[in-house]
């Protein structure tokens, strides 16, 4: 997808906005718009969830409505409080405040009452069949199912058995509550779906209060209805559930929430499945859920992505009815665009080479005024120390330069950014012939802003004053996978991990203004990219993450 056709796609209303505007115009629900974002707290949120958050909260904002955060915590086995906390934090960090924070588990008593109501109305029954027996009678998409031998139990018997299920009288797997829907429906999900199962498991919120838990079809739509959600937006895999969603609401006679579906968003060179992400974490392929290479919201935050960039990206890609892979470069485009506005400019040398300016007085330091951010009129300035000994980038020097190399080499000139022009006179080398120090002269009349030297160097390079430099560890990240779509590759996704996704530079030298940097601070290191201070930083050691390079090297390489 190119940036251009995305623009076209999003200029008009998307299909959900059209539905909502029609509903408002028709006075449906009194013109009220109420959405929800319903994560299951079984992992950290990823970039796919971010699109769903931006969509649900964005619609509420756009139409003066509300959006709830609801934890779909009906499965006691996989859920944890750690995930709940991280999800709340991520939603707020993205810039959205839930109208309410609710838990489906708080509705367990109410959902139980709903189930009893369905039984009383003859729309649910207790089935003693095993999972295999149920599957055997289910039929196939082209062949109708057959009724369970327990389908015609009396209401009284069903009420009694269901209550005893709740009391814990029956073992796991021996009984279920099923909807008495339509065993001949072409929609397999309508063939008497399970509503409740027995599970003797401790729940992260309700503890051991329950030993029966509602299934998705007995929980999701009902929770929407309890909250008077008007537009329940989910991803396409729930299309076949829409019929039972409506069926339950109709049979129960409760608030008629409506379900709408959109396509999942997947980002290239990564995966968005909590199960696979959990595997990456548990098997140590990455260093935790917030490892900056991960596609989780917490990892993107730690890597230095901004909430603004993610929101703008989500807005730009819009929504679709068919699944597609969104190019990671587009996300990086929005990250650069935002960081360009807000990141402080600084100089850092990742692979330092010493420069000694032989005609600069020993012991002298001058302070050169430098803009913090030329893109920000209120960005202010800082004083950069300059002296006789500096660090420059190894890459910016070549002793025997090829014809197109315009950086520093013996006898050539280079401008030191915001400072002076220097000339390299002599190269000091170690026993292996590797340059260890450049002895240079500077031109005092060439100071930036008041240059009267008349010299025209072909290059400007960055530098850091050696005695003032702050050593740091810099982590350079690349894509986590070597192929565009690791989730749909015939090879196992673990085989497709990019072995070079993390490079650690241990001896970087940063300009002294970084001394006050705290985790989350964002910088543009001149000529190198956008960087942020990592949470691993201590008072002894700064750790810096590269958020994104200045330009998109991958797209260029692909041609």
Query: What does the binding site for Mg ion look like in residue numbers (CB under 5 A)?
Result: 40
Q: Kindly tell me which of 107 and 386 has the beta carbon lying closer to ligand ATP.
A: 107
Please name which of 461, 445, 513, 449 lies closest in space to residue 355, comparing C-alpha atoms.
461
Among Mg ion, ligand ATP, none, what binds residue 304 when CB lies within 5 to 8 Å by partner kind?
Answer: none
Q: Kindly tell me which of 274 and 479 has the beta carbon lying closer to ligand ATP.
A: 274
CB 91 within 8 A of CB 68: no
Location of structure tokens 């000339």: 423
Token digits for 339?
Answer: 């960081």
User: What is the rounded CA–CA span in Å between residue 226 and residue 192?
Assistant: 23
User: What is the rounded CA–CA span in Å between residue 155 and residue 158?
Assistant: 5
Write down the catalytic residue from 199, 264, 315, 354: 264
Q: What is the 3-state secondary structure (H, E, C) of 88-130?
A: HHHHHHCCCCCCCEEEHHHHHHHHHHHHHHHHHCCCEEEECCC
Q: Kindly tell me which of 218 and 392 has the beta carbon lying closer to Mg ion.
A: 218
Q: Kindly tell me which of 71 and 125 has the beta carbon lying closer to Mg ion.
A: 71
- Least Å from the CB of residue 273 to ligand ATP: 5
Tell me how far CA of residue 506 lies from CA of 187, 244, 416, 542, 543, in angstroms: 59, 58, 24, 10, 9
Location of structure tokens 């055997």: 136
- Least Å from the CB of residue 156 to ligand ATP: 37
Among Mg ion, ligand ATP, none, what binds residue 274 when CB lies within 5 to 8 Å by partner kind?
Answer: ligand ATP
Please name which of 463, 460, 440 lies closest in space to residue 392, comparing C-alpha atoms.
463
Residue nearest to ligand ATP (CB): 48
What region does 323 belong to: left with phi over 0, alpha with psi -120 to 50, or beta? beta
Tell me the CB-side half-sphere exposure of residue 307, using CA atoms within 13 A: 12
Among ligand ATP, Mg ion, none, what binds residue 52 when CB lies within 5 to 8 Å by partner kind?
Answer: ligand ATP
Among Mg ion, ligand ATP, none, what binds residue 265 when CB lies within 5 to 8 Å by partner kind?
Answer: ligand ATP
Q: Kindly tell me which of 46 and 166 has the beta carbon lying closer to ligand ATP.
A: 46
Among ligand ATP, Mg ion, none, what binds residue 257 when CB lies within 5 to 8 Å by partner kind?
Answer: none
User: What is the rounded CA–CA span in Å between residue 451 and residue 171?
Assistant: 87
Question: Given the rule CB under 6 A, which residues bind ligand ATP?
Answer: 38-40, 48-49, 51-52, 234-235, 264-266, 272-274
Name every residue whose Cβ is closer than 8 Å to that of residue 307 and which is 6 or more positions away in sequence: 93, 94, 95, 301
Active site residue 274: yes
Strand order in the sheet with 34-37: 34-37, 66-71, 101-103
User: What is the rounded CA–CA span in Å between residue 166 and residue 213?
Assistant: 9
- Least Å from the CB of residue 228 to ligand ATP: 18
Q: Kindly tell me which of 76 and 145 has the beta carbon lying closer to ligand ATP.
A: 76
Among Mg ion, ligand ATP, none, what binds residue 28 when CB lies within 5 to 8 Å by partner kind?
Answer: none
Count the Cβ atoms, other than its own, within 10 Å of residue 324: 12
Residue nearest to Mg ion (CB): 40
Write down the catalytic residue from 9, 21, 40, 157: 40
- Least Å from the CB of residue 267 to ligand ATP: 8
User: What is the rounded CA–CA span in Å between residue 465 and residue 511?
Assistant: 7
Active site residue 264: yes
- Least Å from the CB of residue 124 to ligand ATP: 25
Q: Kindly tell me which of 38 and 65 has the beta carbon lying closer to ligand ATP.
A: 38
Among ligand ATP, Mg ion, none, what binds residue 272 when CB lies within 5 to 8 Å by partner kind?
Answer: ligand ATP
Among ligand ATP, Mg ion, none, what binds residue 292 when CB lies within 5 to 8 Å by partner kind?
Answer: none
- First-residue to last-residue Cα distance in the chain: 15
What region does 315 belong to: left with phi over 0, alpha with psi -120 to 50, or beta? alpha
Active site residue 447: no
Q: Kindly tell me which of 52 and 223 has the beta carbon lying closer to ligand ATP.
A: 52
Location of structure tokens 């079809």: 217
Please name which of 427, 421, 339 lies closest in space to residue 386, comparing C-alpha atoms.
421
Name every residue whose Cβ is closer than 8 Å to that of residue 338 and which is 6 or more positions away in sequence: 306, 308, 309, 312
- Least Å from the CB of residue 121 to ligand ATP: 29
Task: For 268, list phi and psi in degrees, rounded to 5.
Answer: -65, 155
CB 74 within 8 A of CB 216: yes
Q: Kindly tell me which of 45 and 111 has the beta carbon lying closer to Mg ion.
A: 45
- Least Å from the CB of residue 263 to Mg ion: 16
- Least Å from the CB of residue 127 to Mg ion: 25
CB 476 within 8 A of CB 533: no
Among ligand ATP, Mg ion, none, what binds residue 51 when CB lies within 5 to 8 Å by partner kind?
Answer: ligand ATP
- Least Å from the CB of residue 243 to ligand ATP: 18
Q: Kindly tell me which of 134 and 320 has the beta carbon lying closer to ligand ATP.
A: 320
CB 497 within 8 A of CB 482: yes
- Least Å from the CB of residue 38 to Mg ion: 9
Among Mg ion, ligand ATP, none, what binds residue 49 when CB lies within 5 to 8 Å by partner kind?
Answer: ligand ATP
User: What is the rounded CA–CA span in Å between residue 125 and residue 183?
Assistant: 13
Over its C-alpha atoms, the chain yields an Rg (Å, rounded) of 31
Write down the catalytic residue from 70, 258, 274, 302: 274
**Catalytic positions, please?**
40, 264, 274
């Amino acid at each position: 997808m190119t940036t251009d056709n995305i623009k076209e796609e999003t200029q008009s209303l998307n299909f959900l906005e059209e539905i909502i505007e029609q509903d408002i115009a028709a006075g449906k629900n009194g013109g009220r718009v109420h959405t929800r974002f319903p994560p299951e707290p079984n992992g950290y949120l990823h970039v796919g969830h971010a699109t769903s958050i931006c969509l649900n909260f964005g619609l509420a904002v756009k139409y003066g409505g509300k959006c709830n955060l609801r934890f779909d915590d009906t499965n006691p086995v996989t859920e944890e409080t750690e995930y709940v906390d991280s999800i709340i934090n991520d939603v707020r960090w993205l810039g959205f405040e839930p109208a309410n924070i609710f838990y489906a588990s708080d509705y367990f008593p109410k959902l139980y009452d709903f189930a009893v109501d369905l039984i009383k109305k003859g729309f649910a029954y207790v089935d003693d069949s095993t999972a295999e027996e149920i599957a055997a009678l289910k039929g196939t998409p082209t062949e109708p199912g057959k009724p369970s031998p327990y389908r015609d139990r009396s209401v009284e018997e069903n009420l009694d058995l269901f209550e005893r299920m709740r009391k814990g009288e029956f073992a796991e797997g021996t009984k279920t509550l099923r909807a008495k829907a339509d065993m001949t429906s072409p929609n397999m999900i309508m063939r008497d779906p399970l509503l409740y199962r027995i599970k003797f498991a401790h729940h992260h919120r309700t503890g051991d209060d329950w030993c029966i838990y509602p299934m998705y079809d007995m929980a999701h739509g009902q929770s929407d209805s309890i909250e008077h959600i008007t537009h329940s937006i989910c991803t396409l895999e729930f299309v076949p559930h829409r019929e039972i969603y409506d069926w339950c609401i109709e049979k129960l006679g409760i608030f008629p929430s409506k379900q709408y579906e959109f396509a999942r968003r997947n980002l290239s060179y990564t995966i968005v499945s909590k199960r696979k992400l959990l595997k990456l974490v548990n098997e140590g392929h990455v260093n935790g859920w917030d490892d900056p290479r991960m596609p989780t919201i917490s990892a993107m935050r730690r890597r230095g992505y901004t909430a603004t960039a993610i929101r703008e990206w989500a807005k730009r890609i819009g929504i679709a009815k068919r699944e597609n892979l969104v190019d990671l470069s587009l996300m990086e485009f929005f990250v650069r665009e935002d960081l360009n506005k807000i990141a402080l400019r600084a100089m850092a040398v990742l692979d330092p080479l010493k420069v000694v300016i032989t005609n600069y007085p020993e012991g002298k330091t001058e302070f050169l005024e430098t803009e913090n951010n030329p893109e920000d009129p209120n960005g202010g300035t800082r004083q950069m120390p300059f002296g006789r000994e500096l660090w420059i980038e190894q890459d910016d020097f070549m002793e025997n330069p090829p014809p197109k190399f315009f950086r520093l080499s013996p006898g050539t000139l280079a401008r030191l950014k915001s400072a002076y022009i220097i000339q390299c006179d002599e190269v000091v080398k170690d026993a292996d012939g590797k340059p260890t120090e450049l002895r240079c002269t500077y031109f005092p009349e060439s100071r930036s802003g008041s240059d009267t030297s008349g010299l025209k160097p072909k290059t400007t390079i960055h530098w850091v004053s050696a005695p003032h430099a702050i050593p740091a560890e810099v982590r350079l990240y690349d894509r986590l996978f070597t192929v565009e779509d690791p989730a749909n590759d015939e090879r196992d996704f673990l085989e497709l991990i990019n072995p070079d996704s993390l490079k650690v530079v241990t001896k970087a030298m940063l300009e002294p203004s970084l001394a006050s940097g705290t985790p989350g601070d964002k910088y543009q290191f001149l000529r190198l990219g956008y960087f942020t201070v990592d949470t691993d930083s201590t008072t002894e050691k700064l750790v810096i993450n590269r958020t994104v390079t200045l330009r998109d090297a991958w797209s260029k390489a692909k041609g």
